[in-house]
Amino acid sequence: MARARGGTSLRRLVGVAASAVALTAVGLVPLTGTAAAHTSRQPDFGPNVFVYDPSTPVAEIQAKFDQIFAQQEHNEMGTNRYAVLFKPGQYDVDARLGYYTTVGGLGRSPDDVNIHGAVRVVGQPDPGSAAGISALTNFWRSAENLSVTPTDWSNQWAVSQASPMRRVHIKGILWLEPGNGGFSSGGYIADSQIDGITINGSQQQWLTRDSVLGDVWTNGVWNQVFSGVTGAPQQGFPNPPYTTLATSPVTREKPYLYVDDAGGYRVFLPALRHDTSGTTWDAGQQQQGSSVSIDDFYIAKPGDSAARINLALLLGKNLLLTPGVYHLDQPIHVLRKNTVILGLGMPSLAPDTGKAALQIADVDGVRVAGVLVDAGKKESDTLVQVGSGLSHRDHSANPTSLQDVFFRIGGPWVGKAEKSLVVNSDDTIIDNIWAWRGDHGNGIGWTQNTADTGVVINGDDVTAYGLFVEHYQKYQTIWNGERGRTIFYQSEMPYDPPSQAAWTSPTGKGYASYKVGPRVKSHDAWGLGVYSYFNQGVDIRADRGIEAPKTPKVRFNDMITVFLDGSGGIERTINDAGTPVVGSYGTSTIVSYP
């Protein structure tokens, strides 16, 4: 059997699994994590997951939050990861979140866990800005499955990319900027309810999906998108810059960990839904779906090898990744339908040998949620691959989904990968992805953290919500599949092309950020922002921000190109339409195309 690039043959893996079954039968291979003994009531999540119940002294909880925040506030490229989980009840705490910190409730409804105080992200000092504060690098943290009753005037969530808020009930005002007019650049809310005003402030772009806004959403900068949001502002792009869709075409919410009535840990798997709006849990309704016991998961620890993880998957386990960095010498292979891979505390998959981090077969219903993928020094062709390039099976009744999956090329260390994410399986749902070729951190430079393209979609009927793709050296996104849909797109072109000759595509100067393949007959996209900041002191031009075949069923709605700073800029917004944004701050907007 032929092997994929850098992969392991299916025949070999199946043979290993057969041998493992025999070993398991005599007790030589544990099916749980690296700690063999655990139960569904007391699973071993490792040293960086902290679980609290209402009997825990408030001072103990607060001290832990303060300790983690002090360590993680500025630890942008560090390797520490943390998750703080609350069993149902009320907690009087001020939870400030730094890098790689996730906070979650363990109830079946967000209202089962009430944080009386705050779950908040604040701005960072920014001496280079007039405001003196910004949230432009507030990445890699999350809040999920809880309610917050603010004891201050609001709950501040000043973030940019890769900092989702899911299944959260804000019982008051939500404030999305760092304050004093400081910059903030893009975030994501899903399946949440905000009772009071949402203050967008300086947030340049934002996606809110399948949620409830009880009061007004204030202002906007460039690109605010609302998909299936009850109480959303009316369509207004470009002034105000609101793109509003009454419903989301196809959704399946992210899996989450909870504790059942008997005290056992389970993972809930929300059902597939169509043409949705509002949350899945409001008005006392039970969310539709199914659940599986934590006993059905291999609870992995950062010391586990890829071979050990693959063995557990082949033996029928799902995978729960506890906080930390997983250095891999071979890909994690998902061959079984309905496999769940769930990360706690933003764990990182780090391929060290030039292979993929994760390869998913063209099967039904795989769910991957809550993981980082960090390219290694040896170049990978692809970091995550969904399906094979030769198959077009119908997965519409049970698609694969990727949720809160974030890629980095450079930043923590030198990284190289030709492509970050390749989706070949039809009907895949992409829900909040940030693919980032690093512009700061470690190993940064045009010839150091090399990467051609962030996301390549070859499958048909793929739907993407919250596609953030930035700084890659050629096209940021290439969409070759038919009937694709993107709802919200954010993309900065690479900052660092050294010359126009080094950054010229087959169709002209520079590379478009979002490219629809020339053979595609049907495609829809709403709310797209493409930005330039060429910072090498060279006049670099991109002929267009978006490139697509001009055909009636390839349709774009509410697009903007922006000159942020630097030299050069973008000549047109889509194909030959739009005005130049070159040489100084400016925007070009197009409501519909063609």
Pairing between β-strand 193-194 and β-strand 165-170 as defined by DSSP bridges:
parallel
Backbone angles phi, psi at 414, to 5 degrees: -60, 130
Q: Which two tokens stand for residue 249?
A: 């075409």
Rounded CA separation 424/393 (Å): 10
**In 121-249, where does DSSP find H-type helix?**
none
- 482 has catalytic annotation: no
Question: Do the Cβ atoms of 369 and 348 come closer than 8 Å?
Answer: no
Q: In 424-543, which ranges are E strands?
A: 429-437, 453-457, 463-470, 477-479, 484-492, 504-505, 508-509, 514-516, 523-534, 541-542
**Terminal-residue alpha carbon distance, the chain:** 46
Which of 175, 178, 168 is closest to 200 using CA atoms? 175
Q: Decide: 583 and 562 in contact? Cβ < 8 Å.
A: no
**Tokens coding 525:** 């996209």
Q: How far apart are CA 17 and CA 336, in angstroms?
A: 13
Burial class (CB in 10 A: 0-12, 13-18, 19+), 341: buried
DSSP codes joined into one string, 109-156: SGGGEEEEEEEEB--EE-TTSTTSEE-TT--SEEEEEEEEEESSSSEE
DSSP letters of 10-35? HHHHHHHHHHHHHHHHTTSS-SS-SS
Q: Are 281 and 192 in contact (CB under 8 A)?
A: no
Q: What is the spatial distance between Cα 493 and Cα 150, in angstroms, rounded to a whole number?
A: 38
For the CA atoms of 563, 565, 568, 569, what is the dihedral angle to 10 degrees? -20
Backbone angles phi, psi at 338, to 5 degrees: 65, 15
Q: By the 8 A CB rule, do 178 and 158 touch?
A: yes
Catalytic option among 76, 253, 482, 492: 492
Among the listed residues 568, 517, 518, the one whose alpha carbon sits nearest the alpha carbon of residue 543:
568
Question: Which residues share a beta bridge with 110?
Answer: none
| Six token digits for residue 402 | 């990727």
CB within 8 A of 346, min separation 6: which ones?
A: 81, 100, 101, 102, 140, 141, 142, 323, 370, 371, 372
* Residue 200 contacts residue 180 (beta carbons within 8 Å): no
List residues bridging with 351 in a β-sheet: 328
Rg (CA), the chain: 23
Residues 433, 570: Cα–Cα separation, whole Å: 24
Query: How many CB atoms are located within 10 Å of the residue 262 CB?
Result: 8
Catalytic residues, by residue number, are 492
